[in-house]
Structures are given as structure tokens and as C-alpha cells.
């Protein structure tokens, strides 16, 4: 009655059970918003028999509210767990992707590994990297994949496109065009996939993230999943980040590849000669340094050879640079094929080639020299002309001739120059003739003192007019009166002076001595021209003209009495500038000589431009005149050439009557040489001139010149 019928229906079975001795309880809502728990507990007597029951009502509204909250929280949690699982696979993808990135050394490897990581570490079904092509149909090229049932060939067969047409509305194409990540959650019903339904396999969703490399979208990373709605928003952010990392990795590898390519190109540029393709001076020097270190350790010898092609510039002048270049290439080829591995053949510069012969002593070096000379006997075919090419070779050996690259290079160079000077095919460096560096330094400082203290001497060698036999001038030649070593000839110190900056004071001394003599002789009324020799270094001296002008004015020298000689190579060293200086000297009234003609490579065209009055035929041609027929031929054509150019020919180094006679018949204008007189101290010159008798073959009716 108290409970009423409705509640009694609930309570009756409980009452029945509690009367059996089992406690009971149930929750109910007496009013909306209020919850109670009703408990029934059996009441027992002393013997434990159930005699009735207690009913206890407790308000549990709050607990009920808390339970409801917990329930809804649990549901929310379940949702989050799914999301979390998605995010965590994306995170796994991200970190596996990054590991891949660190390890990959090439772009294909990176793309493959990335796809594999997405599937295997991330747990997605399939990953594909698509690149866009800039071809006509704007194709999508699958570059790497993992998990696609028919692999790359299957993907290729899809003939996907990123073009904005009906087949290009999928996630990949739109991601590429827009540069934004695209997610399609339900492929079966997506309008963009209407054309692709047959190729979808079991895939239900896809995400495509653009790959942006160096500011340009080059493709997309696509991940396919068989569940619909597979990609949550947070996951999308993370996968986009993964794709950005992949793009970064691609960019890195491309930059590295580019760097490698330019490093290689740089290495080629800096280590190889452009023209011949042979190693250049830098590579040669590096190899020399390495060979030296090894040779030192293993106590092994090696040899260096330098071969200079002769008369290359003449060939350039005659046939043009293109053919000169062709000769250089063929010479390089010949040298390269003659010197087998491990010899290294390099082109140092211009006409200079070098060979490094590891494990080689003097014998090996000489065998190589012989081999080269022998093969040079076969003419080169350039521009349909058969050219005889010769080379001067210098040899330096380790350890005899130097233990540093610098010394070896220098000594090899000295040997070549000596070969040129002596007119022989090759020279092996001779330390006895070339004092070592510290010794050179001592000599240089002694020379400096000698110039300051006037320990130099001016020697004079007469020149005579060949037609009349008359004395017509003298050449001033310097000597060094050394306190211990005695009289030193110029070949032993002029080069040193040039290399140590002493050539300026030296030349000043010689010019001063010559002008003093000029002046003294003029005062005595027996003026005679005196020629001094200039070095290339003097020619480069910008104050040369100014100083000469000043000196000529000081000594009041009449024009023509003070002359200058310059070797062919001196003039050719800086041809344009030399021309300017020579014109300046000529304006000062100084007659000019080209010295040692025939040893350099001056071109005829250039020679014609030079304001010189005399050309001195080098003594190497003159000395053999009476014994070698070809010398006569050379001298004859040289004299003709000099006359054609409107200049006077001077022969130097005439040592005997026979040479004199030949030169006289060839029409040579002036003569100089031991046959007339050796160079003598300037103070003895007047006495010599007074007793001078012209050679017997001169026309007798000419009056003698006497001083
Ligand atoms: P150069 O100017 O060609 O001088 C001619 C050289 O040939 C001289 O050698 C002379 O003694 C030598 N000579 C002359 N006639 C004969 C001969 O019949 N037979 C032989 N075998 N030799 C002959 P020197 O005096 O030893 O001079 C050598 C070179 O040193 C000169 O060649 C010149 O280039 C240079 N030189 C000499 N004095 C000076 C100078 O004051 N300044 C500069 N820059 N160089 C100088
Ligand atoms: Mg001279
Ligand atoms: Mg000379």
C-alpha cells in the first residue's frame, strides 16, 4: 500500500529474496533529477532465522551524475584512442622517414626507403611517390612505391596525369596543381575518382601531400588506405610534415649531387689542361709531392723530365693558333703514349711538357729521353704539312738533384734552359754547375756588395765593318772581379742578378761605365760607339727611359755613340710593351741591336715593326759556319732576310778566317768575335785599337780606323 502497485511490482521479488536471507538493492528515480538506492537487509533473531527485513533508502543523485559523466568520458576516450592510433602511425612514419633520410645516399634510394617506411613502420597500406613530368600530356611518373599490388609497372600503366582535365581531378593531381595537401575520405563516391573506379583495388581513402623542392612542386607523396576516413586531421598535418621532410631530403641529395658535379668539374678545370686533356701543372705538382713523400719513405729514386717544343710560336705565326694547338695536342698524345703507366705526362704551360718517372734513375730517364727523341724523328702532320718538330729536354733526378718539389722543378727547368743554350737535345741537371740555394743567396749578397763597391769591370769587344775591315764600335761586356774566385764571366751572375732584382743597379753601373768612356773618348776626339746589353727586367723598368734620358744629358753624349743590345727573347717577353720602350730609346738617338738572333721565336711580322738598326746573328750559327753546310744555309738566308727588312747584319762569334771569308761573301755587314779580338778590359782597348790590323782579306785600299 505504501509503495503503490507499480513500485510493488519491482519490490515484491526483492522482498521475497530478502526474506530468504539475501540482501537486495536497486536504484530508482523517485522524481526526475533525483536518484536513490533502496537496500533490503534481512532481520534475524538470536538463532539466525529471518524474521523480517530492513529497508534503507539513500540519495545517490550525485553518484549517478558522476557515473554518467564517466560514461561519456569513456566514450570520448575511445574516440581519442582511434585518433591517437592514427597520429601515432603518422608519427612513426615521420620518424622512420627521417631515419631513412639520414641514411639515403641517392634520390631513388631515398624514395624507395621512404615508401617502405610509411608502410612498414607507419602501418599504412600503400605509399607512392609521384613526380610530375613537363611533357605534353603532363604525365605523372611513379618514382617509388611500397604495397601497391602490381608494383611500379602497374602504376605506370595507369597513365596518370596532373593536367587539369577529367582524369586529373584525383588527390595527387590536385595536390600538385594547388600545392596543398589533399585528402579523399571515400574514394568509391568521390567525384574526382569517377574515372578511376576500375583501378582502385580495395583502396577507400587517400592522402596526397605536395613535394616542394627549391620552391617548385615536383610531385606528391600519396598514401592509400583500405579503410574509408582513414586520415584524421592531426594525422594529415603530420603526414604533410613528413612529405615536407622528404622534399627537404630530395633537395639535399640534389644539392649534394650538384656539388659533387661541380667539384668534379672544378677538379677537371684545376687539374687538367684544357687543350690536351693531360694533367696540368697543379696536378703534376701534387703528384710530385706525393711521389716525393713515398720515395723518401721507401728510399726509391725517381726522375723528372721537361720537354719544351722548339719554335712553337713561329709555327703559330705561320700556320695560325689552331694548328699550333693541334701540334700541342699531338705532341702531348705522342708523349703520353710513349711513357707507360705509372709515368705521368703533364702539360705545364705553353710549349712545356713534363714527365714524372717513378722508380727511375738516370738510366731510366735517359732511355725515356731517347725514346722521345727517336719518336720525334717521325714528322707531325699538321694542316696537310709534314712538320719536323724538335724538343729540348731537361732532366732532374731524386734524390741527387733535389729533395723538395721546388728544387726539382727548378733544376729540371735549369737543365732545359741549358739544353737550349748549348743547342743540344737534352741536358741532365749538374749540381756542380748550379750552386745550391743558400749558396746562391750568399753569392747574391756578394754581388750586391760588388756592385756598390765597384768590383765590376767593363770589358770591351770590338766590332768591325766587314767590307772595309774598319773598327766601327765595341760591345760592353761586364765581368765581376771576385776577391776569392777571380774574374767571373756574366753567364754566372747575370741570371742571378735578374732573379734577385740586382739587374737594375748592375745595368746602371754598366751604362754609367760605358757613358764615362764615351765621354772620355769624345773629349779626346776619337769617339766610338759602345753598345751595352739590356735584360728583359730592364725593359720592364718603367723609369728606364727617364733615367737614360737624364744620363745622356748629363754626359752630353752625341746621338749614335751609345747603343743598346737586346736579345730576341727579351723583346718577345712582352712584345707590345717592348715596342713602346724601343721607340722611346730610339727617340733618345740610341741605335738598337737585336742580339742572339735565331735562338728565340720572334716572328718576322713582329721583327719588321721593331725600330732596330742591327740584327746580330747568334754565334751558335756562326761558329759552325766553316764546318757545317746547313749553318751556312741558315746564315745566308738570315742575312738576306735582315737585308730585306732594311736592317744591317752583324755576325758574332767569328773565330777564324774561314768563317770571316764566308760571311764576307754572304754580304754580312759587321763582324765581332775572337778572330778580331777577345773581350778586353776597357782600359786596354785604346792600345789594342791603335795596333789593330784589319783581316788580310779586306780590301787594302781602305784606310784603317785608329783611335
Ligand atoms: P752577348 O751579348 O751575345 O755577348 C757576346 C758573348 O759572346 C760574350 O760573352 C763574348 O765574350 C762572347 N764571344 C764573342 N766573340 C766570341 C767568339 O768568337 N767565340 C766565342 N765562343 N764567344 C765569343 P760574355 O762576355 O761571356 O757574355 C755572355 C752574355 O752575357 C752576353 O752575350 C750577354 O747576353 C750577357 N751580358 C754580358 N754583359 C752584360 C751586361 O752588362 N748586362 C746584361 N744584361 N747582360 C750582359
Ligand atoms: Mg750582346
Ligand atoms: Mg749575342
Residue 59: CA atoms inside 13 Å, Cβ hemisphere, count? 6
Contact 347, 273 (CB under 8 A): yes
Q: Whose CA is nearest to atom 10 of ligand 1?
A: 679
Task: Give me ligand 1 centre to Cα 495, in Å.
Answer: 13
Ligand 2 centroid to Cα of residue 632, in Å, is 22
Q: How confident is the model at residue 705 (pLDDT cuts 50, 70, 90)?
A: very low
Q: Identify the residue whose C-alpha is closest to ligand 1 atom 43.
A: 533
Cβ atoms < 10 Å from Cβ of 134: 6
Tell me, yes or no, if the pTM score tops 0.75.
no
**Whole-number Å distance between alpha carbons of 162 and 211:** 14
Q: 614-617 and 648-652 as β-strands: parallel, antiparallel, unpaired?
A: parallel
140 forms beta bridges with: 132
Reply yes or no on whether the pLDDT at 648 is more than 90.
Answer: yes
Q: How high is the pLDDT of residue 601? A: 59
pLDDT of residue 125: 94
pLDDT in tens, 261-318: 988 988 888 899 999 999 999 999 999 999 999 988 888 899 999 999 998 888 888 8
What is the pLDDT averaged over residues 14-31? 90
Task: Return the exposure string of 411-421: e unless at least 16 CB atoms fall within 10 Å of the residue's CB, then b.
Answer: bbbbbbbbbbe
Model confidence band, residue 548 (pLDDT cutoffs 50, 70, 90): very high
Is 131 a residue whose pLDDT tops 90?
A: yes
Least confident of 61-65, 198-202, 438-442: 438-442
Nearest ligand atom owner, CA of 496: 1
Cα 326 to ligand 2 centre (Å): 36
Binding-site residues, ligand 1, Cβ < 6 A? 461, 477-478, 489-491, 494, 507, 510, 532-535, 565, 595-596, 619, 652-655, 672-674, 679
Lowest mean pLDDT among 85-94, 278-287, 648-657: 85-94
580 CA to centre of ligand 1 in angstroms:
26
Q: How many CA atoms within 13 Å lie on the side-chain side of 483?
A: 7
The confidence band for 702, taking pLDDT boundaries of 50, 70 and 90, is very low
Shortest CA distance to 298 belongs to which of 242, 223, 358? 358
**Phi then psi for 204, rounded to 5 degrees?**
-115, -25
Quick check: 512 pLDDT over 70? yes
Query: At residue 565, does pLDDT exceed 90?
Result: yes
- For residue range 438-483, what is the model confidence (pLDDT) as tens digits? 667 788 889 999 999 989 999 999 999 999 999 999 999 999 998 8
Separation of CA 533 and ligand 2 centre (Å) = 5
Residue 626 confidence class, pLDDT cut points 50, 70, 90? confident
> Residue 652 has which C-alpha cell?
758574332
What DSSP string describes 207-223?
EEEEEEETTEEEEEEEE
pLDDT of residue 436 exceeding 70: no
Pocket test of ligand 1: the residue of 512, 531, 626, 652 to mutate, having most ligand atoms within 8 Å of its CB, is 652
**Which of 421, 423, 477 is the best mutation target for the ligand 1 pocket, counting ligand atoms within 8 Å of the beta carbon and taking the most?**
477
Which residue is closest in CA terms to ligand 1's atom 4?
Answer: 477
Instruction: Say how many Å lie between the CA of residue 452 and the centre of ligand 2.
Output: 24
Structure confidence at residue 438 (pLDDT) = 63
Ligand 1 atom 33: residue of nearest CA: 533
Closest C-alpha to ligand 1, atom 46 = 533
| Ligand 1 atom showing the smallest separation from residue 538 Cα | 44
Centre of ligand 3 to C-alpha 593, Å, is 10
* Ligand 1 closest atom vs CA 567: 34
DSSP per position, 329-374 = HHHHHHHHHHS-TT-EEEEEETTEEEEEEET--HHHHHHHHHHHHH
How far is ligand 1, taken at its centre, from the CA of residue 477, in Å?
6
In this structure, which residue's CA is closest to atom 23 in ligand 1? 653
Residue 407 pLDDT level (bands cut at 50, 70, 90): confident
Q: What is the pLDDT of residue 156?
A: 95
Ligand 1 atom at shortest distance from the alpha carbon of 565: 2
Window from 184-198, 405-419, 431-445, 656-670 with minimum mean pLDDT: 431-445
The mean per-residue pLDDT over the stretch 506-534 comes to 95
Tell whether the model's pLDDT for residue 217 goes beyond 90. yes
pLDDT of 706 strictly over 60: no
Amino acid at each position: 500500500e505504501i509503495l503503490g502497485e507499480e513500485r510493488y511490482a519491482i519490490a515484491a521479488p526483492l522482498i521475497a529474496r530478502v526474506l530468504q536471507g539475501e540482501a537486495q538493492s536497486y536504484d530508482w528515480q523517485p522524481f526526475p533529477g533525483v536518484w536513490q538506492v533502496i537496500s533490503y537487509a534481512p532481520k534475524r533473531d538470536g538463532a539466525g532465522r529471518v524474521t523480517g527485513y530492513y529497508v534503507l533508502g539513500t540519495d545517490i543523485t550525485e553518484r549517478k551524475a558522476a557515473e554518467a559523466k564517466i560514461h561519456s568520458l569513456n566514450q570520448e576516450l575511445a574516440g581519442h584512442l582511434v585518433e591517437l592510433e592514427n597520429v601515432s602511425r603518422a608519427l612513426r612514419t615521420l620518424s622512420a622517414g627521417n631515419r631513412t633520410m639520414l641514411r639515403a645516399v641517392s634520390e631513388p634510394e631515398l624514395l624507395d626507403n621512404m615508401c617502405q617506411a610509411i608502410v612498414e613502420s607507419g602501418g599504412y597500406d600503400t605509399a607512392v611517390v609521384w613526380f610530375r613530368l613537363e611533357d605534353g600530356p603532363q604525365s605523372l611518373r611513379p618514382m617509388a612505391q611500397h604495397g601497391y599490388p602490381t608494383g611500379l609497372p602497374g602504376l605506370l600503366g595507369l597513365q596518370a596525369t596532373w593536367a587539369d582535365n577529367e582524369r586529373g581531378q584525383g588527390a595527387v593531381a590536385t595536390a600538385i596543381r594547388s600545392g596543398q595537401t589533399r585528402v579523399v575520405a571515400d574514394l568509391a563516391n568521390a567525384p574526382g575518382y569517377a574515372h578511376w573506379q576500375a583501378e582502385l583495388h580495395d583502396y577507400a581513402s587517400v592522402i596526397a601531400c605536395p613535394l616542394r623542392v627549391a620552391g617548385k612542386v615536383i610531385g606528391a607523396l600519396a598514401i592509400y588506405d583500405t579503410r574509408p576516413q582513414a586520415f584524421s586531421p592531426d594525422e594529415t598535418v603530420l603526414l604533410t610534415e613528413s612529405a615536407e621532410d622528404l622534399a627537404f631530403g630530395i633537395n639535399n641529395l640534389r644539392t649534394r649531387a650538384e656539388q659533387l658535379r661541380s667539384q668534379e668539374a672544378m677538379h677537371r678545370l684545376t687539374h687538367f689542361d684544357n687543350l690536351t686533356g693531360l694533367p696540368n701543372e697543379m696536378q703534376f705538382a701534387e703528384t710530385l709531392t706525393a711521389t716525393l713523400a713515398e720515395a723518401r719513405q721507401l728510399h726509391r729514386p725517381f726522375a723528372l723530365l721537361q720537354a719544351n717544343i722548339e719554335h712553337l710560336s713561329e709555327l703559330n705565326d705561320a700556320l695560325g693558333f689552331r694548328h699550333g694547338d693541334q701540334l700541342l695536342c699531338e705532341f702531348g698524345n705522342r708523349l703520353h703514349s710513349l711513357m707507360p703507366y705509372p709515368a705521368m705526362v703533364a702539360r705545364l704551360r705553353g710549349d712545356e711538357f713534363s714527365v714524372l718517372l717513378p722508380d727511375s734513375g738516370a738510366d731510366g730517364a735517359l732511355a725515356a729521353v731517347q725514346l722521345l727523341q727517336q719518336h720525334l724523328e717521325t714528322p707531325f702532320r699538321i694542316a696537310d704539312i709534314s712538320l719536323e718538330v724538335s724538343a729540348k729536354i731537361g732532366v732532374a733526378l731524386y734524390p741527387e738533384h733535389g729533395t723538395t718539389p721546388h728544387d726539382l722543378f727548378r733544376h729540371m727547368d735549369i737543365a732545359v734552359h741549358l739544353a737550349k743554350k748549348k743547342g743540344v737535345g737534352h741536358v741532365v741537371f749538374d749540381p756542380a754547375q748550379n750552386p745550391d740555394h743558400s749558396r746562391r743567396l750568399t753569392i747574391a749578397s756578394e754581388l750586391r756588395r760588388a756592385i756598390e763597391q765597384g768590383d765590376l769591370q767593363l770589358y770591351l769587344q770590338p766590332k768591325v765593318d766587314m767590307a772595309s775591315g774598319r773598327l766601327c764600335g765595341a760591345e760592353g761586356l761586364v765581368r765581376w772581379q771576385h776577391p776569392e774566385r777571380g774574374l767571373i764571366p756574366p753567364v754566372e751572375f747575370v741570371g742571378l742578378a735578374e732573379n734577385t732584382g740586382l739587374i737594375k743597379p748592375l745595368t746602371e753601373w754598366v751604362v754609367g761605365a760605358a757613358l764615362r768612356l764615351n765621354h772620355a773618348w769624345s773629349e779626346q776626339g776619337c769617339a766610338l760607339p759602345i753598345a751595352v746589353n739590356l735584360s728583359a727586367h730592364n725593359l720592364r723598368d718603367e723609369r728606364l727611359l727617364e733615367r737614360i734620358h737624364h744620363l745622356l744629358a748629363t754626359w752630353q753624349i752625341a746621338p749614335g755613340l751609345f747603343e743598346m743590345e737586346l736579345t730576341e727573347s727579351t723583346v718577345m717577353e712582352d712584345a707590345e710593351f717592348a715596342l713602346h720602350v724601343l721607340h722611346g730609346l730610339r727617340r733618345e738617338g740610341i741605335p738598337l741591336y737585336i742580339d742572339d738572333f735565331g735562338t728565340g721565336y720572334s716572328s718576322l711580322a713582329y721583327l719588321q715593326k721593331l725600330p732596330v738598326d742591327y740584327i746580330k746573328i747568334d754565334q751558335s750559327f756562326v761558329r759552325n759556319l766553316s764546318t757545317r753546310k746547313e749553318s751556312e744555309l741558315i746564315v745566308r738566308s738570315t742575312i738576306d732576310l735582315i737585308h730585306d727588312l732594311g736592317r744591317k747584319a752583324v755576325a758574332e762569334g767569328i773565330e777564324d778566317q774561314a768563317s770571316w771569308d764566308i760571311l764576307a761573301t754572304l754580304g754580312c755587314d759587321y763582324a765581332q768575335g775572337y778572330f778580331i779580338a777577345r773581350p778586353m778590359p776597357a782600359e786596354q782597348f785604346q792600345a789594342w785599337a791603335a795596333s789593330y790590323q784589319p783581316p788580310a782579306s779586306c780590301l787594302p785600299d781602305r784606310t784603317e780606323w785608329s783611335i
